[in-house]
Chains A and B, each alone.
Chain A
């Protein structure tokens, strides 16, 4: 996204077309942020206004408001333009409160940890 040379002037991947649009930003740590893009630069650093984090656990989801966010570009995986004419999420998903989604996240984490520890114990047995 640096200044394009004359023959590249019409082919530049710029986030300019996404300015002032509501976007979905996927981060490297798996977080999903939604917000309106107000600024960006050549590193894909971005400023999101009215940002919220959409936490999804199974069929439950919750949007946690964050406010004005500056995202460092190295953490950005993908920036997606949300089609306003389509549903953002499948209909079977249920919106819950922040407290409930945190509980669901913890339950999911505990289940994963348990699976991990069980696997470690099984590996000790050296069955294969």
Chain B
């Protein structure tokens, strides 16, 4: 639940999602769900030449299970808030 809430706060920010198949997609975070499935808007593929089939894709749904990393803007993280939330979650679990 912690990361779901965290990503909900990041909706509207620009992120880069790196998938397990090495495809990296930059876009605006549109929505996220409990499985950490991600919907991106205004997407651009990093290294477009390697993935010609993605040329006309501007919005996409990414299954949570295939995400390796979600790269965030440096000011996208309130570290102290995140630490507190993590401690609370750890205590409760």
List residues of A whose CB falls within 8 A of some B CB. Answer: 1-2, 11-15, 18, 24, 26, 28, 30, 32, 44, 54, 56, 61, 73-74, 76-84, 86-90, 93
Contacts and interface: CB of A to CB of B under 8 A. Distances in A.
Contact of B58 (A11, A32, A81, A90): A81
A77 B66 contact: yes
B91 to A, nearest CB: 23
A24 B66 CA distance: 16
B55 interface: yes
Contacts of A78: 19, 23, 25, 60-63, 66
Given A13-B37, A15-B61, A30-B21, A89 B66 contact: no
A81 B33 contact: no
A54 B57 CA distance: 15
A56 B63 CA distance: 23
Given A13-B31, A80-B60, A1 B37 contact: yes
A32 B53 contact: yes
Interface in B58-75: 58-63, 65-66
Interface in B22-66: 23, 25, 30-35, 37-39, 43, 52-63, 65-66
Contacts of A79: 60-61
The 4 A-B pairs of least Cβ separation, nearest first, read A80-B57, A86-B56, A80-B60, A13-B33
Given A14-B33, A61-B52, 16 more contacts: A1-B35, A2-B34, A13-B32, A15-B61, A18-B61, A26-B23, A44-B61, A56-B53, A77-B20, A78-B25, A78-B61, A78-B63, A80-B59, A80-B61, A81-B59, A84-B56
Interface of B: 8, 11, 19-21, 23, 25, 30-35, 37-39, 43, 52-63, 65-66
A124 B39 CA distance: 47
B52 A83 contact: no
